């Protein structure tokens, strides 16, 4: 599941959930062989890109989970392993869910994952996060204890930010870390964001293309930065380590929201004074 944009949560065309927490049965037996085949296609082309691009925590998580090419993973089996490692479980949802429902799941260490899989003719197109994005992209990182704590804190912070009317700023933190984050490892850039790791073309674009900026992560700066929902990102932010997420899990953002009230939003492609620039993008993709 995702927080693609805060406004999109809850806009699930007239859908009325059976349960108040919007969960559904994964109904693993009901996946067709075509659906398992789509998973295999996505899995095989993506896993080949991971060495040297995905961060170590992701590689470790993927190795230790019951995720392989053969079938769409069974959420119960994922949860058995995850629960023992970081106390998280994976629950099935039909697609986007309302913000408060999403945050409440995270705050209780439940990761809501899309139950459906995209069609074979739209391998690279995705209106809503499906099981490949959610499970292949997100779940391996949930095996990391720091990410596990960060995600729970994000859920709790989301409920608070919603009350304070500051969801946009908090959503930018999520966007530029959990979805599109890069991290420095042994002097090289690696990917930990699920939005990149589940995308065949953005995996290479994020690290290797000349177009986007790659900028050292700064919390306040990121909370001011708009993002693209319709294309690859124009800027990626680089954490010094996955462990640095722990600082944010322990931060009360309320004073930071106040501090940022008199600042302007930054365009997604903008580079500002004080940025630690790893790569200044040419911007050619979006020009
Ligand atoms: Fe996501």
Task: Give residue 52 CA to ligand 1 midpoint distance, Å.
Answer: 22
- The number of folded domains in the chain is 1
Answer whether 0.75 is exceeded by the pTM: yes
Residue 155 pLDDT: 96
Contact 224, 262 (CB under 8 A): no
pLDDT of residue 153: 96
Give 98's DSSP letter: -
The answer to whether the beta carbons of residues 259 and 212 sit under 8 Å apart is no
Q: How far is the CA of 186 from the centre of ligand 1 (A)?
A: 26
- Give the CATH number for residue 169: 1.10.800.10
Residues pairing with 112 in the sheet: 91
> Ligand 1 center to residue 93 CA distance, Å?
13
> 3: which 2 tokens?
């927080």
pLDDT at 171: 95
Distance 130 CA to ligand 1 centre (A): 9
- The Cα-based distances of 199 to 134, 172, 179, 195, 245 in angstroms read 11, 19, 11, 7, 23
Its domain, for residue 278, covers 3-286
Helix (H) or strand (E) holding 75: helix 75-86
pLDDT in tens, 89-136: 999 999 889 999 999 999 999 999 999 999 999 998 777 899 999 999
Per-residue model confidence (pLDDT) at position 2 = 53
CA of residue 136 to ligand 1 center, whole Å: 10
Kindly give the pairing relationship between strand 182-185 and strand 188-191: antiparallel
CA separation, residue 135 to residues 92, 216, 227 (Å): 11, 27, 23
pLDDT score of 219 = 97
Q: Say what the pLDDT of residue 127 is.
A: 78
Bridge-based pairing of strands 213-216 and 277-279 is antiparallel
Per-residue pLDDT of the chain (287 residues; tens, 9 = 90+): 454 434 344 445 567 888 999 999 999 999 999 999 999 999 999 999 999 999 999 999 999 999 999 999 999 999 999 999 999 999 999 988 999 999 999 999 999 999 999 999 999 877 789 999 999 999 999 999 999 999 999 999 999 999 999 999 999 999 999 999 999 999 999 999 999 999 999 999 999 999 999 999 999 999 999 998 888 999 999 999 999 999 998 899 999 999 999 999 999 999 999 999 999 999 998 76
SS3 121: helix
Distance of CA 107 to the CA centre of its chain: 16
Distance from residue 16's CA to the centre of ligand 1 (Å) = 22
Q: Say how far apart CA 11 and CA 266 lie, in whole Å.
A: 27
Q: Rounded to whole angstroms, how far apart are CA atoms 270 and 167? A: 22
Location of structure tokens 């729970």: 152
Reduce the DSSP state of residue 278 to 3 states and report it. Answer: strand
């Amino acid at each position: 599941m995702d927080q693609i944009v805060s406004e999109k949560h809850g806009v699930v065309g007239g859908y009325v959930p059976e349960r108040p927490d919007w969960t559904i049965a994964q109904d693993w037996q009901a996946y067709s062989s075509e659906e398992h085949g789509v998973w295999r296609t996505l899995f095989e082309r993506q896993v080949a890109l991971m060495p040297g691009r995905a961060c170590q925590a992701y590689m470790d998580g993927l190795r230790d989970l019951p995720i392989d090419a053969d079938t769409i993973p069974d959420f119960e089996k994922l949860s058995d392993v995850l629960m023992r490692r970081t106390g998280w479980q994976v629950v099935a949802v039909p697609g986007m869910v309302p913000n408060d429902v999403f945050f409440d799941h995270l705050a209780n260490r439940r990761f809501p994952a899309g139950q459906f899989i995209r069609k074979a003719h739209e391998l690279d197109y995705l209106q809503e996060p499906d099981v490949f994005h959610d499970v292949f992209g997100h779940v391996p990182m949930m095996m990391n204890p720091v990410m596990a704590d960060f995600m729970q804190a994000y859920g709790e912070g989301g409920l608070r930010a919603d009350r304070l009317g500051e969801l946009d700023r908090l959503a930018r933190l999520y966007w530029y870390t959990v979805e599109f984050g890069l991290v420095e490892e042994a002097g090289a850039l690696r990917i930990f964001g699920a939005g990149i790791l589940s995308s065949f073309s953005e995996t290479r674009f994020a690290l290797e293309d000349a177009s986007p900026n790659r900028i050292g992560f700064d919390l306040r700066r990121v909370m001011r930065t708009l993002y693209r929902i319709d294309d690859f990102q124009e800027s990626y932010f680089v954490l010094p380590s996955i462990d640095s997420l722990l600082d944010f899990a322990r931060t009360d953002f309320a004073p930071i929201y106040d501090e940022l009230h008199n600042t302007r939003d930054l365009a997604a492609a903008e580079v500002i004074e004080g940025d630690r620039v790893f790569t200044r993008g040419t911007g050619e993709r979006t020009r």
